[in-house]
A and B are shown apart, each in its own frame.
Chain A
C-alpha cells in the first residue's frame, strides 16, 4: 500500500466520516430500545454492520424475541458475505489479517474499493482498508456519543426518536429502490408486515417478508 493516491484517500475519509456520523442515530435508537450503553457499544464494535444493528434493536425493542431479532439481523448480514467473496481475490490475505478484513467488510469499504477499479488493485486495497478502518473508528465513536445523548434525554418519544428509527430504515432502503420491481417489493413488504403484526409475535412479520423477496427474485426475468 505504498504511495496511496490522494483521490482514494479523500474519498475513503469523507465516506468514513459521513457514515460514521450515523452511528449517533444507532446509539440513540439502541438506548431507546432498552439496550445498555455496554450492549450498544458491543453491537457497534462486534456486529459492525449498520442495518443489522438497527434490526436487532428495532425487533427486540418492539418486543420481539432474541431469535427473531438475530434472524432478521443475520438475513441483512448475508450481503457482507457476498462482499467478502468479491474482495477476497483482491486483498489476498490470510490468518489474522483475514479476520480483520472480514470484520471491516461492509457496504462502504466494498463500495469504495470497487469505485477505485480504474486506478488498479493497489488503489482498491487502499480504499478498502482506509474506508473499513475509518468507518470502524467513527462509527464506534459516534455510537457512544448518540447513546450518551439518548441517556441524557429520557423519554424517546419527546425527542422524536420513535420516528427517527423508521426514518433511518427508510433512508437505508431508499437508494435501493431503482425501479418499479423494487418499489413494488418494498410496498408489498411494508403492507404485509404491518398487516401481520397484530396476529403473529413481534419480529416474525419482518422475517416473513424475506420469503417475499425470495419469491420475487425467483420469478424475475434476468
Chain B
C-alpha cells in the first residue's frame, strides 16, 4: 500500500475516533481548564507552522519566491477583513502572475 493511502486511511480513522470518543465519554472528563486552554492553542501553533513551512520552504530548504508575495497579499486581505475566499484567491492570483512573468 502506498504512503498516500496510509495517510488517507489513518487520518480518516483517527479523525472519526476522536469525534466519536467525544460523544461517548462522560462530560466531567476533560474539563480541566489547562487541558481546554492547551486544546485551543494547538491549532494556532500547527496552522501557523504550516503557513511558514508552505510559504518559505521547499523540499527542506529555505526558498523565497512568488509564494511569499502571495501570502503577504493574503495577510493584507485578512487585515482588511476580506472574506476567506477573497483571501485565498488574491494569494493565488498574485503568485501566479509573478510565476508567469
By a beta-carbon cutoff of 8 Å, the part of chain A in contact with chain B is 18, 21-22, 25, 34-36, 39, 42-43, 46-49, 51-56, 58-60, 62-63, 65-66, 69-70, 72-89, 91, 93, 98-99, 101-103, 105, 157-174, 176-177, 182, 185-187, 189-194, 197-198, 201-202, 205-210, 212-214, 216-218, 220, 222
Contact = CB atoms under 8 A, between A and B. Distances in A.
Interface of B: 3-8, 10-12, 14-16, 18-25, 27, 29-30, 33-34, 36-57, 59-62, 66-67, 69-71, 74-75, 78, 84-85, 87-97, 99-100
Given A85-B27, A194-B56, 8 more contacts: A46-B8, A58-B53, A74-B11, A158-B99, A160-B66, A160-B92, A164-B70, A176-B43
A39 B66 contact: no
Given A56-B7, A163-B95, A217-B37, A46 B43 contact: no
Consensus secondary structure, chain A interface: helix
Contacts, number: 315
A8 B35 CA distance: 31
Contacts of B91: 160, 163-164, 166-167
